[in-house]
Structure 1
Amino acid sequence: MKVFEDFFSELQTDMVAICLEYVENKADEIYIYCSYEPKMYVFDFFFKINEKVVHKHQLNEAKPELNGQDNLVYDVSRERQKAALKIGNDDLKLIHKKCEEFDRDMPTEMKLFYDVKKNSLKANYRYDLIYTNDDELLPDDIFDCWFEEVKESHL
């Protein structure tokens, strides 16, 4: 019989799979940001590729220069980005549903770090309200701040 942790792990694994598919399995690291505060779900992600930390729409800026022979062009179209974000958001809503079913607290924030080469997933969870009680802070601000932190740490 499946326990809560099984559902929770499967849904996080699916989030990673969506991001891996989006980047055509060509990333070194994947960073996934999930947030839930009353009535608002946020899912977003970014990558480290070829020693560069890039947003999902910047993938083609991180391609290696292989004497002009690398023909890989990532599909970073709005449609593709929206599709990946929708699936991640749906997974986040399912996590919330499972938290309610199993009478567990829903994290207000999940920061997932996936090391592609090591096939290892690390996660940080928060359970306090982060932006709901702040007049100026938005989930995008928190995501952007994390992106900048990671980018700085890889310089």
Structure 2
Amino acid sequence: MDWTHYRFVSRWPLPAPAPVVYALLERPEDYPRWWPQVREVTRLDGTSGAFRVRSLLPYDITFTARETRRDPVAGVLETALTGDLEGWARWTVGPAEGGCLARYDQEVDVAKPLLRRFAVPGRPLFRANHRLMMRAGRRGLRELLGTLDAV
């Protein structure tokens, strides 16, 4: 087993139509507005951006995300990740009862030296850290959707 390889799947049931959620997710430069752990996103060009994220554990992860697929009809946003994380991430947004389901898939190898050094003993903490980040993201997006309803 490669202790520095991770595969994550998160499912976010959201009370909004899929096209509304897709439109918010395709604007990563706005993520810091509603997702506290996404500390900074800097657009590099029309298809890539530099991210800095930090969850509960005291370290930042920085990476560049380059768009590899944008398909609003299928509800898919996919990026290639390079930097402290090497791999890919994908949002798939589709209709569901009461709104939509946003599914986040990520498969990465950790390149950050500190995380590689603590790969074996830290793995349960790193996975829990990711779960907390995703839970906060879902909560933040739900709150943002609630403010859009009020407008």
TM-score by length of 1: 0.33
The structure richer in strand per residue is 2
The structure richer in helix per residue is 1
TM-score by length of 2: 0.34
Flag the structure with larger Rg.
1
